Amino acid sequence: MLDWFIPDGVFRDVTDIPESWFLSRGIEGIVLDIDNTIAKYSEMLPPKSSLDWLGRIRDAGIKAVVVSNNKHSGRVQKMSEAMGVRYIYRASKPSKKGFEWAAKAMGIPLKKIAAIGDQIFTDICGAKRSGCYAVIVYPRGIDENFLFRLRRAVEIPFISVARKKVEREK
Ligand SMILES: [Mg+2]
């Protein structure tokens, strides 16, 4: 069960994940978190860096959807439409429901999907218990909020274990 909290990959930012990370693992689809992963809370649309990255991923033949815990459909819809991907909001990660929806929406089995997010206890835990790969990224805009820094302190041990695991696999 501890495995549920250990990501398979650790990157500073979503845009640092190369296509090869997915392709070498047979991953055919990705599940994207919006808030603090694709964009900061203060941003209303995805920044160009995220859009460019997603373009490269899709050029490699990888599908993408958004699974967000955000309760506001408007924000998630705007972000997802700007990226040209389907979305679900109020996903209640770590619930499996968003990941199961994603598998159906993309027509890809859960074990060939990687979820990317900034939170261990929602994004990573939800992905792992659904049977997906999970990649943790450093939250965009973390400096904006003290609570985030506090939350990160709790997550750091899990991220350290993941880093060691990733190093061993190299
Ligand atoms: Mg997030």
What architecture (CATH level 2) is domain 2-169?
3-Layer(aba) Sandwich (3.40)
Confidence of residue 131 (pLDDT cuts 50, 70, 90): very high
Q: How far is the CA of 150 from the centre of ligand 1 (A)?
A: 15
DSSP assignment of 48-71: HHHHHHHHHHHHTT-EEEEE---S
51 CA → ligand 1 middle, Å: 17
Res. 63: pLDDT tops 90: yes
Strands 86-88 and 113-117: unpaired
Q: Which of 66, 67, 64 is nearest to 27 (CA)?
A: 64
Separation of 35 CA from ligand 1 center, angstroms?
A: 4
pLDDT per residue over 88-111, tens digit each?
Answer: 999 999 999 999 999 999 999 999
